[in-house]
Amino acid sequence: MRWKLGLGALTASWGFIAVLAAAVDLGAEPLAFWRLALAAGTLAVGAVLVGRAALLAPQGRLPQLALLGAVQGAHWLLFFLAVKHGSVALAVLTFYVAPLVLAVTAPLLLPERWSAPILVAATVGAVGIAVIALGGDDGSASGWAVTAGLGSAATYAALVVLSKRLLLAATPPLTVAFWDCFVGALVVAPVLLLADRIIPTDAGEWGAILALGIVLTGVSTLVYTMLLRHVSAQAAGVLTFLEPVAGVLLAWGLVSEEPEPWTLAGGALVLAAGLVVVLLEPSETRVADAPGGIGSSQ
């Protein structure tokens, strides 16, 4: 249970992302790039400082790691495209199709069993997210926006499956997290040509960018990858439902954005889904150990 509680707490912490991003007057492209580039730099420096630089090498799995990073970059670009050409509500609603995709496809692509609690929780959570998103929808939607949003869901599901496969093959979590962010930054970099402004202009923006990149992407990606060793891909997908609920509550507490009743109702359904996963879905047996040190459990 502790692994799922840890993963639930981690995904809830991602609610800070929307709060910090709102404080930065940068476009989607530089935000995505800075997050991934700073994350990769953080993981590289951390590995060197603790004497584990060898874990930054691809461990003989460069093609799989490069694919993982490319999918990560594509995921962020598609998600922000859905926001730009549709609405935040549309992007959220379409993106959170991903847990449903994982609930159905993960047993086909990974050594996982079909799970009745996961299917129930994914359905309940999806209804909750729909209530939250549709309640705030401004009606802006286009075919491109919907396609991009669904693409972000598909690429996120692919990220979880690809990460899980690498971990099952005993690839160290640090290796997976570093290449995920490093290649992702390279994929996003060319899109910076479309941005009006790339560099933060003041201390406030730099503080938000550093927090997003170092803590909420670099450290968070490593911790997520370590926890994913002990949690099924299906359970990990459902627990991501907690992110938008946490974002609503944080916005309420930090910037006095009081949620509407429909938002609270949808959030209650999401929390119920997370509770089903934590209490009823068994944790996985740990996969083969990575080399000791940062990025491993030894």
The three-class DSSP label of residue 54 is: helix
Which pLDDT belongs to residue 248?
Answer: 65
Residue length of the chain:
298
Per DSSP, the residues of 160-227 read HHHHHHHHHTT--HHHHHHHHHHHHHHHHGGGGGG-S--S--SHHHHHHHHIIIIIIIIIHHHHHHHH
When pLDDT is cut at 50, 70 and 90, the band that residue 296 belongs to is very low
Q: Residue 287 above 70 pLDDT?
A: no
Predicted confidence (pLDDT) per residue in 242-286, tens digit:
766 666 676 666 656 666 777 677 767 776 776 676 666 665 544
Q: Residue 148 above 70 pLDDT?
A: yes
| pTM (2 d.p.) | 0.80
Predicted confidence (pLDDT) per residue in 224-244, tens digit:
999 999 988 888 887 877 766
Least confident of 29-33, 81-85, 126-130: 81-85
Q: What is the CA radius of gyration of the chain?
A: 18
Predicted confidence (pLDDT) per residue in 164-189, tens digit:
999 999 999 999 999 999 999 999 99
Higher pLDDT, 60 or 280: 60
